Structure 1
Amino acid sequence: MALDSILGNNATFYLSLFCLLIALFVFNFTTRRRKNKPNLPPSPFKLPLIGNLHQLGTLPHRSFRNLSHKYGPLMLLHLGQTPTLVVSSADIAREIFTTHDVVFSNRPPATAAEIFFYGCKDVVFVRYGEEWRQKRKICALQLLSLKRVRSFQFIREEEVAELVSKIGEACLETENNNGCSVINLSHMLVGASVNILLRCLIGNKCNALRGSSNFDDLPRKVLTQFVAFSFGDFFPCLWWMDYVTGLIPKLKATSRELDAFFDEVIAQHKTIKHDHQSDRKEKDFIDILHHLQEEAMPEFELTQQDIRAMLVDMFVGGSDTSSTFLEWAMSELVRNPSIMRKAQEEVRRVVGDKSKVEDIDVKQMKYLECVVKETLRLHPPAPLLAPRETRSTVKIRGYDIPPKTSVYINAWAIQRDPEVWERAEEFVPERFENSEIDFKGQDFEFIPFGAGRRRCPGITFGVTSVEYVLANVLYWFDWKLPGSAQDIDMTENSGVNVNRKKPLHLQPVPVHSFGS
């Protein structure tokens, strides 16, 4: 009896011990998994396979802002198989750009960028590293420096004078017919922006080529195709579907249009060499890049594909950004006649009775500068900036952000944040009077050109051009809407640069000083 009792008690003991060990193992395993599980940012409910793609509309910057109102300014989405971080707060943007900028300095892979920029050999989409540093250095010191921008002033003056002349001719034609001149100002602004940039890129040697093709619309076409849905971007294993849908054939056809133009331009520059160009004071971008190529820099070899990619980058990004800005600026001014009058009074007072607007005049137009800033605040040409990708795991506001996460900084939402901006949705240039806030990447509530290492290198070039164009159209003409201010359609069009969905048609009225 005693032996049976001991054996029975031991069996119960060992069974209890075994159960306890199992319970401890399960508890330890569960606790360890909890500790190792990353603390991810808030995220909306996602569907199988497509994730949160169904929650994006045709204007992602607006969709992202609406979602951020519910899930917060740091939000993780799953766009297909691509984890995507969306930032909608100036404070979080400041932390990213100042503390973790290197981690956020890569670009995510993009089908369109691979095709248009020869495997991402341009400045915008090249991966972060030594190649990017050298190309960024070329842009900053050789192509887009303040000295170089000033050297192109004669191009801006000639092309803007031609724009003013075309608008004036349209007024005279309708005046002779006792009509009311209403012009497609959007089309004219696109043409002027493309012409200015092309002449800076390729000089005066290829006007015949430019006239043989419709290059005015090509930059906008490229940027529209950039946001076309790509299976490869969201579902890498389904890359072949981009051939089935016809996306890749379309991208390659557009790329061939760019190639045909720039290949011939480059060939002409090589033929001419420096025989007749060495004494020319003003060098275009191709001259400069070829000179750098011939120098054979020891730290970096500049190939023909590098040159073409950088030219396409600046041609597409620069011209459409400028024309998009000018469209929105004129749209806001005609909607706000008192602001238009105030800007025109300043422009005409500074210029006086001179026969043309000079660059030195524009620098004195402080209210015009406020108009430019307010337009960039309400209508940043690229509202989501260029996407970024994390290079490693990083912690932001207590949340773990995994490597290879695509990142969108919603500059459009940040610049309309009512907690930062008073009357955030209204066009109020006066907010920048006596204000130190600028768009050069140090004030994170106002980042239309980005911030950090990968901010836009062409800020000076772009702003100088649009200020000069805007000053001229305000100096030479009064502007009227065909209808009332309430009738103007401010609907946005989808694309990398968000321009007007419908062209801006306005009636120009020459002032008394026109043509003097």
Structure 2
Amino acid sequence: MEFSFSFPALCILYFLLFFLVKQILKPQSHKKLPPGKRTLPIIGNLHQLAGLLPHRTLKSLSDKHGPLMHLKMGERSAIIVSNARMAKIVLHNHGLAVADRSVNTVASIMTYNSLGVTCAQYGDYWTKLRQIYTLELLSQKKVRSFYSCFEDELANFVESIKSQVGQPIVLYDKASAYLYATICRTIFGSVCKEQEKMMKIAKKTSLLSGTPLRLEDLFPSMSVFCRFSKTLKQLRGLLQEVDDILEEIIVEREKTTEILKEAKDDEDMLSVLLRHKWHNPGGAKFRITNADIKAIIFELILAGTLSVTDVTEWAMVEILRDPKSLKKVYDEVRGICKDKKRVTGYDVEKMEYMHLCVKESTRIHPAAPLLVPRECREDFEVDGYTVPKGAWVLTNCWAVQMDPEVWPEPEKFDPERYIRNPMDFYGSNFELIPFGTGRRGCPGILFGITNAELMLAAMFYHFDWEVADGKKPEDIDMTEDFGAGCIMKYPLKLVPHLAK
């Protein structure tokens, strides 16, 4: 009897033997890890995480094993945080121990090898970038200075919808077009000549990076065999296209514009970054390079469009499905903006009920239900359990925000719950952390929320809405899909009518 083995079969056999021997020879740890499901050899708990909605799967497991749970994801240990008390202990009390990012392969590629504020490791570089973001790029003063830009693009957004009055529109497409235009203008100071191309690249990047973790992230020992995969090759190609566009813009700006030493109220984001490159304000230990600038710009484009579009779409559908909230939003928006030609940023600042609606929507539908993973820098203890150095720390903020002990009827859309129990989503209330908290909380919350609320206010001011295909609002399919974030599986289709 003859046996013949194909090359793929030999590779699989090799890897199985390799991991089995590695498991046998691995020193046994005596650390008391948090509770969790029993693991299988090699794959750990991966078989229990199969499915498209990891935040819901992890919540089901945490309901059985507790709000601090240990899982084995291939070769990696993961600690899952699933309620507000644990979020405060791990992310606040031990914030420095979990200040590093766990950067997967896709994120590393798309951030120029972990440059920029999102994926950079904790240290002087990250601290300086964080200061630039919070004090100069995305501060309240800076966001207000962009109001005229927001309002100009909002007028285009409204006109685009008016051109299709009485016809079905896909809200996601309209919102993302507005956001791409807005973020490009705030970054470059004018319409980017390659804006359409950048939009297409960002969308392709989102689709290709939809898988949260890849084989090489779960099994670092196999990374050498995965680096030439088709997906990674496509992502590197997209990054090269982005790099070419941004390099040309930066070089042209440096040739044609004087880079000032002092900040100006009306300077765009690129001017801020070039000022730090050329004049090193504050005497930082490093000088920003073109690579840093390109990484920052691309992460601003991705975060400022994809996640904000998700926030807008989910808020719209929740408001439409709740007649009481819908009436209050219409009354508030049309009362504040009465007889005006367009909605302004300062109008939106007065819209208290609109803000409650967006806040409640982000509680039920956080754009990133699993916050960007962190990596433990050192061992520390929580309730007698060890969180080990090198472990991934995953915060299931969706589970935190659906805790019935904190949120009565958590599945119910109830904006008025914040009147009874005031909380904000800026990171100080650990029961509500859709944008993260602590050192690694999102620095762009105000920019994103302002744009989401501007779009919603404009839509409710200028138009009356009905669901496409003759459906009632309560019949809208709320099925989730998991891509770069948690999105509607079936994009929301609406029919606009001019406001009466």
Equivalent position of 1:163 in the other structure? 157
- Taking the aligned partners of 1:250 and 1:329, their CA distance within structure 2 comes to 33
Equivalent position of 1:422 in the other structure? 408
Equivalent position of 1:285 in the other structure? 269
Deviations 1:233-277 (A, max 9, x none): 11111013324542321221221232232222222212222299x
- Taking the aligned partners of 1:244 and 1:456, their CA distance within structure 2 comes to 32
- Taking the aligned partners of 1:108 and 1:53, their CA distance within structure 2 comes to 18
1:94 correspondence with 2:80: no
- Taking the aligned partners of 2:210 and 2:225, their CA distance within structure 1 comes to 16
Q: Select the residue among 316, 323, 327 that pairs with 1:341.
A: 327
**What letter corresponds to residue 164 of structure 2 in structure 1?**
A
**What letter corresponds to residue 274 of structure 1 in structure 2?**
E
Contact 2:181 2:195 in 1 (8 A): no
Q: Select the residue among 359, 362, 377 that pairs with 1:373.
A: 359
Deviations 1:2-24 (A, max 9, x none): xxxxxxxxxxxxxxxxxxxxxxx
Contact 2:259 2:271 in 1 (8 A): no
Return 221-230 or 284-293, whichever deviates more. Answer: 221-230
Equivalent position of 2:288 in the other structure? 302
What number of residue pairs does the alignment pair up? 468
Return 127-136 or 225-234, whichever deviates more. Answer: 225-234
Equivalent position of 1:43 in the other structure? 36
- Taking the aligned partners of 2:164 and 2:484, their CA distance within structure 1 comes to 32
Equivalent position of 2:472 in the other structure? 484
- Taking the aligned partners of 1:437 and 1:421, their CA distance within structure 2 comes to 12
- Taking the aligned partners of 1:220 and 1:75, their CA distance within structure 2 comes to 34
Sort the Cα spacing of 1:424 and 1:141 in 2 relative to 1 into closer, same or farther, 3 A: same
Sort the Cα spacing of 1:120 and 1:68 in 2 relative to 1 into closer, same or farther, 3 A: same
Contact 2:44 2:73 in 1 (8 A): yes
1:216 correspondence with 2:199: yes
Q: Select the residue among 282, 297, 309 that pairs with 1:311.
A: 297
Deviations 1:178-207 (A, max 9, x none): xx411111110111111111111112152x
**What letter corresponds to residue 435 of structure 2 in structure 1?**
F
- Taking the aligned partners of 2:458 and 2:136, their CA distance within structure 1 comes to 28
Contact 1:230 1:242 in 2 (8 A): no
Q: In the TM superposition, what are the counterparts of 1:463-474 in structure 2 within 5 Å?
A: 463-474=449-460
Equivalent position of 1:385 in the other structure? 371
Identity %: 36
- Taking the aligned partners of 1:47 and 1:93, their CA distance within structure 2 comes to 28
Equivalent position of 1:247 in the other structure? 231
Return 319-328 or 477-486, whichever deviates more. Answer: 477-486
- Report the aligned-residue RMSD: 2.1
Equivalent position of 1:265 in the other structure? 249
**What letter corresponds to residue 140 of structure 1 in structure 2?**
T
Deviations 1:306-341 (A, max 9, x none): 111111111111211111101111111222233212
Contact 2:147 2:344 in 1 (8 A): no
Q: In the TM superposition, what are the counterparts of 1:12-91 in structure 2 within 5 Å?
A: 37-56=30-49, 57-91=51-85
Contact 1:481 1:506 in 2 (8 A): yes
Equivalent position of 1:132 in the other structure? 126
Equivalent position of 2:180 in the other structure? 194
**What letter corresponds to residue 484 of structure 1 in structure 2?**
K
- Taking the aligned partners of 1:279 and 1:377, their CA distance within structure 2 comes to 37
Equivalent position of 2:5 in the other structure? none
- Taking the aligned partners of 2:484 and 2:379, their CA distance within structure 1 comes to 28
1:510 correspondence with 2:498: yes
Q: Select the residue among 221, 237, 245 that pairs with 2:221.
A: 237
SS at match of 1:499: strand
SS at match of 1:330: helix
Equivalent position of 2:141 in the other structure? 147
Equivalent position of 1:501 in the other structure? 489
Deviations 1:288-310 (A, max 9, x none): 10111110353221111111111
How much does 1:434 deviate? Answer: 4.7
- Taking the aligned partners of 1:429 and 1:40, their CA distance within structure 2 comes to 39
SS at match of 1:51: coil
Contact 1:230 1:247 in 2 (8 A): no
- Taking the aligned partners of 1:257 and 1:327, their CA distance within structure 2 comes to 29
Contact 2:180 2:195 in 1 (8 A): no
1:111 correspondence with 2:100: no
Ranges in structure 2 where 5+ consecutive residues have no aligned partner: 1-26
Contact 2:181 2:191 in 1 (8 A): no
Ranges in structure 1 where 5+ consecutive residues have no aligned partner: 1-32, 172-179
Contact 2:202 2:302 in 1 (8 A): yes
- Taking the aligned partners of 1:281 and 1:394, their CA distance within structure 2 comes to 45
- Taking the aligned partners of 1:218 and 1:304, their CA distance within structure 2 comes to 20
**What letter corresponds to residue 307 of structure 1 in structure 2?**
I
How much does 1:360 deviate? Answer: 2.2
Deviations 1:64-114 (A, max 9, x none): 111111111111111110100100010110112321100011111311122
**What letter corresponds to residue 222 of structure 1 in structure 2?**
T
Please give the TM-score of this superposition, normalised by the length of structure 1: 0.87
- Taking the aligned partners of 2:132 and 2:473, their CA distance within structure 1 comes to 45
- Taking the aligned partners of 2:326 and 2:200, their CA distance within structure 1 comes to 28
SS at match of 2:302: helix
Please give the TM-score of this superposition, normalised by the length of structure 2: 0.89
- Taking the aligned partners of 2:244 and 2:278, their CA distance within structure 1 comes to 23
Q: In the TM superposition, what are the counterparts of 1:387-402 in structure 2 within 5 Å?
A: 387-402=373-388
- Taking the aligned partners of 1:143 and 1:495, their CA distance within structure 2 comes to 27
